C-alpha cells in the first residue's frame, strides 16, 4: 500500500467523518463545496478527512493501473487509518461505500452515468475537430485497452469496472438528494462555482445527524 495525501480537519475528536469525494470532472466542480462542508463541520466539533483516490490529485500512483477494487480498498484503509465513525459519499463516491459505517451519500450516481458524460464530451470535441468518434467505438476501446477521457487516463480494468458499477441498494448510508439541499446541482455547472447556502445545508444535515448520536 502506497501512502496517499488527504485534506484533514483533525483535532482528535470523537466524531470523525471520512469523505469519499466525487470523481473526475465532478470532483473538480465539487471540491470547493466539499471542503466548505468540512470547514463547517470542524466548527461543529467534527473531524473530517478527504483522501485523494489513488491515481488522482496528489497521488503518485498511475491512474491507468487502478481498479474499482483498488479504490474500494483505499476507501477501507482510509476509514481505518482515520478511525472514521461516519462516511459522507459524494456522487460516484457512493460506489466506494465500504458498507460498514453509518453516514450519508449526497446525490449518488452510478458508473454508467459517470462514463456517459465523459464519453459524450469526447465525441462532441471530436466532431468539432472534424473527426468522427462514436460512443460505441470509444466504449469498445475503453474495455479493450483503456482510454483517455476528459484528461483522465482510465485503464481497461477501471473502465470496465466503472461501466458495471452501481451504488449498493443495501447500505447503512442515507441518501441526500439535491432537492434536500436546494439550488442547482454544482456538478452540472459549466464553470466550477460555489454556493455557501448549499454547503450550509449539507453540513447541517451531517452535523445534526452526527451530533445526535
Partner 1 sequence: MSAEAAPKAEAPAGLAPSRTAIDDQLRAILCDVLGLDRERVEDFDNDTGLFGHLPELDSMAVAGLLTEMEDRLDIIIEDDDVDGEMLETYGGLLAFAEAKVVES
- Enumerate residues 6+ apart whose C-beta is below 8 A from 137: none
6-14, 80-88, 156-164, 186-194 -> range binding partner 1 (CB under 8 A)? 186-194
Sign of CA dihedral 187, 188, 193, 198: negative
Binding flag, residue 183, partner 1 (CB under 8 A): yes
Binding flag, residue 197, partner 1 (CB under 8 A): no
d(CA 87, CA 210): 10
d(CA 89, CA 96): 8
By beta-carbon proximity to partner 1, the closer residue of 108 and 155 is: 108
Binding flag, residue 184, partner 1 (CB under 8 A): yes
Binding flag, residue 177, partner 1 (CB under 8 A): yes
Beta strands, E only, the chain: 6-9, 16-20, 47-51, 86-90, 103-106, 147-149, 152-154, 173-176
58-66, 70-78, 95-103, 176-184 -> range binding partner 1 (CB under 8 A)? 176-184
Contact by Cβ (8 Å): 5, 158 = no
Q: Which of 68, 77, 101, 150 binds partner 1 (CB under 8 A)?
A: 150
Q: Which of 83, 100, 134, 164 binds partner 1 (CB under 8 A)?
A: 134
What DSSP element (H or E) covers 135? helix 135-145
By beta-carbon proximity to partner 1, the closer residue of 28 and 156 is: 28
36-44, 64-72, 163-171, 172-180 -> range binding partner 1 (CB under 8 A)? 172-180
Backbone angles phi, psi at 9, to 5 degrees: -115, 95
Binding flag, residue 182, partner 1 (CB under 8 A): yes
Closest to 137 in 3D by CA, of 129, 166, 25, 145: 145
Q: How far apart are the first and last CA of the chain?
A: 33
Shortest CB 205 distance to partner 1, Å: 15
By beta-carbon proximity to partner 1, the closer residue of 64 and 195 is: 195
Site residues for partner 1, window 93-122 (CB under 8 A)?
107, 113, 116-118, 120-122
Shortest CB 210 distance to partner 1, Å: 24
Binding region for partner 1 (CB under 8 A)? 25, 107, 113, 116-118, 120-125, 127-128, 134-135, 150, 177-179, 182-185, 187-191, 193
Amino acid at each position: 500500500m502506497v501512502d496517499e495525501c488527504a485534506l484533514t480537519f483533525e483535532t482528535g475528536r470523537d466524531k470523525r467523518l471520512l469523505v469519499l469525494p466525487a470523481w473526475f470532472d465532478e470532483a473538480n466542480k465539487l471540491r470547493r463545496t466539499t471542503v466548505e462542508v468540512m470547514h463547517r463541520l470542524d466548527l461543529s466539533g467534527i473531524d473530517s478527512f478527504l483522501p485523494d483516490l489513488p491515481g488522482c490529485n496528489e497521488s503518485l500512483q498511475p491512474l491507468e493501473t487502478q481498479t474499482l477494487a483498488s479504490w474500494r480498498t483505499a476507501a477501507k484503509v482510509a476509514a481505518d487509518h482515520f478511525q472514521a465513525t461516519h462516511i459522507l459519499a459524494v456522487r460516484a463516491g457512493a460506489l466506494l461505500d465500504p458498507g460498514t459505517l453509518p453516514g450519508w451519500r449526497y446525490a449518488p450516481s452510478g458508473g454508467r452515468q459517470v462514463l456517459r458524460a465523459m464519453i459524450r464530451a469526447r465525441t462532441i470535441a471530436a466532431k468539432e475537430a472534424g473527426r468522427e468518434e462514436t460512443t460505441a467505438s470509444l466504449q469498445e476501446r475503453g474495455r479493450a485497452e483503456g482510454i483517455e477521457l476528459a484528461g483522465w487516463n482510465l485503464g481497461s480494468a477501471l473502465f470496465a469496472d466503472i461501466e458495471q458499477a452501481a451504488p449498493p441498494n443495501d447500505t447503512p448510508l442515507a441518501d441526500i438528494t439535491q432537492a434536500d439541499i436546494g439550488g442547482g446541482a454544482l456538478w452540472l455547472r459549466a464553470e466550477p462555482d460555489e454556493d455557501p447556502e448549499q454547503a450550509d445545508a449539507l453540513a447541517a444535515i451531517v452535523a445534526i445527524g452526527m451530533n445526535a448520536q
